[in-house]
Amino acid sequence: MIPEFGQFALVVALVSALIQSTLPFIGAAKNIPAWISVARPAAQAQFISLAVSFACLVYVFIQNDFSVLYAAQNSNTKLPIEFRISAVWGAHEGSLLLWALTLGTWTYAVSVFSKKIPDVMIARVLGVMGIISIGFILFILMTSNPFARIFPVPIEGRDLNPLLQDFGLIIHPPMLYMGYVGLSVAFAFAIAAMLAGRLDAAWARWSRPWTSIAWVFLTIGIALGSWWAYYELGWGGWWFWDPVENASFMPWLVATALIHSLAATEKRGVFKAWTVLLAVFAFSLSLLGTFLVRSGVLTSVHSFASDPERGLFILIFLILVVGSSLVLYAWRAPAIKSTSKFKFISKETALLLNNVLLVVAAGTILLGTLYPLVIDALSLGKISVGPPYFNSVFVPIMVPLVALMAIGVLIRWKEDNLQRMKKHLLTYFVISLALGLLGTWMMPSFTFSAVIAITLAWWVVLNMSYHFMLRFKNKAVSWQGLKTIPRAIYGMHIAHIGIAVFTIGVTLTSVYSTEKDVMLTPGESYSLAGYDFKFSGSNKIVGPNYQGERGHVTVTQDGNVIAKLEPEKRIYTVQRSPMTEAAIDAGITRDLFVAMGEPRGKDGGWALRLYHKPFIRWIWLGSLIMGFGGLLAATDKRYRKAK
Amino acid sequence: MLKLKFILPLIAFALLVTLLFVGLSNDPRRVPSPLVGKSAPAFELPRLQDPDVTFSPEMLKGEVWLLNIWASWCRGCQVEHPLLNELAKQKLVSIVGLNYKDTNAEAKAWLAKLGNPYRLVVTDQKGLVGFDYGVYGVPETFFIDKKGIIRYKHIGPINYKDLTEKLIPLIKALKAEP
């Protein structure tokens, strides 16, 4: 009964979404207050129905009800309870339901935290979100019903893909979806503003906190995904420029641009049309990402469940949503007038440059991601575009972007002159360069990439700190003074420092990582980057739903024991797939990483992969700092008051 | 009033969608093999367990069989191996293994450890026969019908879904042919 109830709840959610996206629109157009006021209750009813439906599916998995096809395909009685719950979103049907629930959650949040925004506006915003919801719920009901039954009922389920039996996967998809789907709020605000024909600064102010929160989720979600790939795939890599990773990174880049252009639109009334277009782009890229992941048009290490017929549905949906938004844009945007002017040397110009660089970066990634499709569509063969392309186009865009960030923070709105800043910029640059050279000198070898990265990172940090301290001009720094500074200011500085930390992490890891595949018999050791890895054999292990071997590696440096690492090689019983569980000794300045390859010979020897990864933690640390900065900015007092 | 610069995004989007439509009808994993529909290229290679005896495709004429290209150094082969063992147990079809660019000692150790689903294994240490068959990634599996014609080529590890939903029905259909 529970599965049928879950399906019924989904139908109720669809009906609520239909009401949510019809009556309020008509009400807003014809000015009928009663119809406008339907928006909030309908949105809340939709959210509750989706939550009930999702809870039913979780219940099916916890109860091991294998009469439900989706549970039979993705779960197993021997699967530990936490993975039985995360298996709910481990494959196509469930992850779509999670998508819909996430959208429902955002819709609910908008309906609750928007008391100060005029009802007419909220009616339209919720209406737009309702339309998106209709698309996804219909998609689930028509092509991907997670509650479908099978007969005869299998005694045992086929188990969850072992790659996904991991803590990282429990939280990575919900976080990422919160980010992806959260961009629908900014999108809905932009569409609502265009429908109302009121593209003033007000819509920008309303959508800023929402966009920032979505961006925080997206940042953390992507970082988690990268961390998961690092320790779970056993290749020691943290980013593969895989189509699915790109699908999450493109919306992030555009959302980052959007955050900056929203600031310019709200504060100075410039770039209005562009900001609207960015809001449309950001969410369109989320939808495109969903299409790429779910349709299987591109092969990827992530395509655990993809299906071309389902792809067609998403594509048609994409055309309807994005196509109509762009038509609306073509119709409304020409009427937008900028209300203020700015000189060439100004914060407006800096933000414009920031936007151009970020959008160009997103564009080059889009090109690289879709290029194999273009070649295939033109019947020119099969190719795949790999890291060499992405690294060689992406890095040259990021270097000026980070430099611009360091300078941009100091520039004033409307009009400024470089003479004023020249002294500071130069002084800090010289200090940064010295620190960059010093930092690189401490590395195993001299490389220009390291000098550039460390110098730029310090330049950003110094300029950010200087800019922050300007608030205390002529005043002593005091606790009282620190408390009066708005959170948004803290957030902006912290997020940018996060970028500096991230830059150092990425560069030093890429340049100075060492790795080696070695064959070791028990008692043998191998030396890598000054660390001795001694292999002392392996033993058999039996887990709840797998069997395997656990290796024992002791790492010493100059005779001192640094870490005892126990990598595992598992064979999951049901799907019979081998899995590598890497063992990692994490540290601020370096990670030591051991993964087991294959057994060799009769005397207990193993092929082992050893990695030394300097500063890799800084990549995720930087992302967390960015996220924290975003969170501070999004929860600034002026937004909280506006509730 | 419509202006071109505001319509540009729409035009770009239309192009993108057209591309995606075409992309949807292409299967990214399907790499067409010019050999499908042609006779399996002839060869004569020594057997792994008994190097003095050779095998050539001629010998299996009148039978449906699979030629599975594998190597002990290949990770994908390890992934699909349990499924090949399963398929062998069903006694539905003969699987001939072509051990590709490998050493006999390692190949034998591998089979001893993971089980041997093959009716027989031939060794192609220099990869010359693999070249004739257009092998560019291991594992690959060729489906050869009673007339000795390659009817299908599976690239990459066979998974459970491929096997049950596509490959076994294909084998049954080939066996039903005269």
Which pLDDT score is estimated for A301? 41
CB contact under 8 A, A370 and B27: no
Rounded to the nearest angstrom, the minimum Cα separation between B28 and chain A is: 6
Within 8 A of A569 by CB-CB distance, chain B residues are none
Q: Is the CB of B78 inside 8 Å of chain A's CB atoms?
A: yes
Nearest CA in chain A to B83: A576
Is the pLDDT confidence value at A318 over 70?
yes
Please compute the mean of the pLDDT values over residues A422-438 and round it to a whole number.
94
Residue A352 CA to residue A404 CA, distance in Å, equals: 11
Please compute the mean of the pLDDT values over residues A392-417 and round it to a whole number.
91
Which pLDDT score is estimated for B118? 93
Question: Are the C-beta atoms of A420 and A488 separated by less than 8 Å?
Answer: no
Which residue among A158, A297, A327 places its CB closest to the CB of B23? Answer: A297
Q: What residues form DSSP beta bridges with B96? A: B67, B120
Within 8 A of A329 by CB-CB distance, chain B residues are 6, 9-10
Within 8 A of A310 by CB-CB distance, chain B residues are none
pTM score: 0.81
Q: What residues form DSSP beta bridges with A577? A: A572
Rounded to the nearest angstrom, the minimum Cα separation between A600 and chain B is: 9
Which pLDDT score is estimated for B51? 84
Within 8 A of B110 by CB-CB distance, chain A residues are none
Please compute the mean of the pLDDT values over residues A109-136 and round it to a whole number.
93
Question: Are the C-beta atoms of A42 and A130 separated by less than 8 Å?
Answer: yes
Q: Is the CB of B32 inside 8 Å of chain A's CB atoms?
A: no
Res. A300 pLDDT band, cuts 50 70 90? very low
* Residue closest to B156 by CA, chosen among B36, B26, B29: B29
What the block records as the tokens of A493 is 């500085």
CB contact under 8 A, B6 and A372: no
Q: Is the CB of B7 inside 8 Å of chain A's CB atoms?
A: yes
Q: Which residue has the tokens 């009469």?
A: A67
Is the pLDDT confidence value at A288 over 90?
no
Share of chain A above pLDDT 90, in %: 62
Q: Is the CB of B4 inside 8 Å of chain A's CB atoms?
A: no
Is the pLDDT confidence value at A526 over 70?
yes
Residue A16 CA to residue A10 CA, distance in Å, equals: 10
Nearest CA in chain B to A292: B20
Please compute the mean of the pLDDT values over residues B3-17 and round it to a whole number.
86
Is the pLDDT confidence value at A330 over 70?
yes
Within 8 A of B19 by CB-CB distance, chain A residues are 370, 373-374, 377
Among A243-247, A301-305, B14-18, B172-176, where is mean pLDDT lowest? A301-305
Using DSSP's 3-state secondary structure scheme, residue A553 falls into strand
CB contact under 8 A, B24 and A299: no
Question: Are the C-beta atoms of A128 and A42 separated by less than 8 Å?
Answer: no
Mean pLDDT of chain A: 89
Q: Is the CB of A154 inside 8 Å of chain B's CB atoms?
A: no
Which pLDDT score is estimated for A329? 93
* A538-544 CB contacts, 8 Å cutoff, 24+ apart: A538/A596, A538/A604, A538/A606, A541/A568, A543/A570, A544/A78, A544/A79, A544/A80
Which pLDDT score is estimated for A344? 87
Return the beta strands (E) in chain B as ranges. Answer: 45-46, 54-55, 65-70, 94-100, 120-124, 140-144, 150-155
Q: Is the CB of B136 inside 8 Å of chain A's CB atoms?
A: no
Q: Is the CB of A33 inside 8 Å of chain B's CB atoms?
A: no
What the block records as the tokens of A531 is 């660390």
Which residue among A315, A323, A334 places its CB closest to the CB of B2? Answer: A334
Which residues of A, range 77-106, sit inside 8 Å of B by Cβ?
Answer: none
Nearest CA in chain B to A326: B10
Contacts across the A-B interface (CB distance below 8 Å) = 80
Within 8 A of B7 by CB-CB distance, chain A residues are 330
CB contact under 8 A, A315 and B17: yes
Which residue among B9, B14, B20 places its CB closest to the CB of A277? Answer: B9
Which residue among A295, A308, A326 places its CB closest to the CB of B10? Answer: A326
Q: Is the CB of B22 inside 8 Å of chain A's CB atoms?
A: yes
Among A28-37, A97-106, B55-64, where is mean pLDDT lowest? B55-64
Residue A98 CA to residue A177 CA, distance in Å, equals: 8
Which pLDDT score is estimated for A532? 94
Nearest CA in chain A to B16: A370
Which residue among A298, A329, A577 places its CB closest to the CB of B9? Answer: A329
Q: What is the pLDDT of residues A170-201, one digit of tens each?
A: 888 899 999 999 999 999 999 999 998 888 88
What the block records as the tokens of B31 is 């790499």
Q: Is the CB of A559 inside 8 Å of chain B's CB atoms?
A: no
Which pLDDT score is estimated for A643? 40
Within 8 A of B6 by CB-CB distance, chain A residues are 273, 329-330, 333-334
Res. B58 pLDDT band, cuts 50 70 90? confident
CB contact under 8 A, A315 and B21: yes
Mutate to test the interface with B, among A187, A199, A382, A570 (most CBs of B within 10 A): A382
Residue A505 CA to residue A200 CA, distance in Å, equals: 40
Q: Is the CB of A443 inside 8 Å of chain B's CB atoms?
A: no
Residues contacting residue B125 through CB under 8 Å, at least 6 positions apart: B99, B101, B102, B103
Question: Are the C-beta atoms of A615 and A513 separated by less than 8 Å?
Answer: no
Is the pLDDT confidence value at A137 over 90?
yes
Phi and psi, residue B97, nearest 5°: -95, 140
Residue A587 CA to residue A282 CA, distance in Å, equals: 35
Which pLDDT score is estimated for A388? 79
Nearest CA in chain A to B81: A576
Nearest CA in chain B to A274: B6
Q: Is the CB of B11 inside 8 Å of chain A's CB atoms?
A: no
Residue A95 CA to residue A87 CA, distance in Å, equals: 9
Residue A396 CA to residue A399 CA, distance in Å, equals: 6
Within 8 A of B160 by CB-CB distance, chain A residues are 158, 575
Q: Is the CB of B79 inside 8 Å of chain A's CB atoms?
A: yes
CB contact under 8 A, A334 and B6: yes
What the block records as the tokens of B161 is 């879904």
Which pLDDT score is estimated for A136? 93
Which pLDDT score is estimated for A642? 47
Residue A286 CA to residue A191 CA, distance in Å, equals: 16
CA distances from A394 to A159, A400, A401, A612, A632 (A): 39, 11, 11, 25, 29
Res. B78 pLDDT band, cuts 50 70 90? confident
Is the pLDDT confidence value at A385 over 80?
no
Residues contacting residue A504 through CB under 8 Å, at least 6 positions apart: A453, A454, A457, A615, A618, A622
Mutate to test the interface with B, among A278, A303, A577 (most CBs of B within 10 A): A577
Residue A296 CA to residue B29 CA, distance in Å, equals: 10
Which pLDDT score is estimated for A305? 39
Please compute the mean of the pLDDT values over residues B41-48 and round it to a whole number.
87
ipTM of the complex: 0.77
Which residue among B6, B20, B78 places its CB closest to the CB of A329? Answer: B6
Which pLDDT score is estimated for B32? 55
Residue A357 CA to residue A362 CA, distance in Å, equals: 9
Q: What share of chain B is helix, strand, coil (3-state, %, to 5)?
A: 40, 20, 40
Residue A135 CA to residue A291 CA, distance in Å, equals: 13
Which residue among A376, A578, A598 places its CB closest to the CB of B26? Answer: A376
Residue A58 CA to residue A170 CA, distance in Å, equals: 13
CA-only gyration radius of chain B, Å: 21
Which residue among B7, B10, B26 places its CB closest to the CB of A377? Answer: B26
Among A605-609, B75-79, B151-155, B173-177, where is mean pLDDT lowest? B75-79
Q: Which helix (H) or strand (E) holds A569?
A: strand A568-572
Mutate to test the interface with B, among A294, A297, A549 (most CBs of B within 10 A): A297
CB contact under 8 A, A330 and B9: yes
Phi and psi, residue A598, nearest 5°: -115, 155
Which residues of A, range 276-335, sit inside 8 Å of B by Cβ?
Answer: 277, 280-281, 284, 291, 295-299, 308, 311-312, 315, 318-319, 322-323, 326-327, 329-331, 333-335
- Mind giving me the DSSP string for A396-432? HHHHHHHHHHHHHTTPPSS---HHHHHHHHHHHHHHH
Rounded to the nearest angstrom, the minimum Cα separation between B81 and chain A is: 10
Please compute the mean of the pLDDT values over residues A84-89 and round it to a whole number.
92
Q: What is the pLDDT of residues B120-156, one digit of tens each?
A: 999 988 777 877 787 766 788 999 998 888 888 887 7
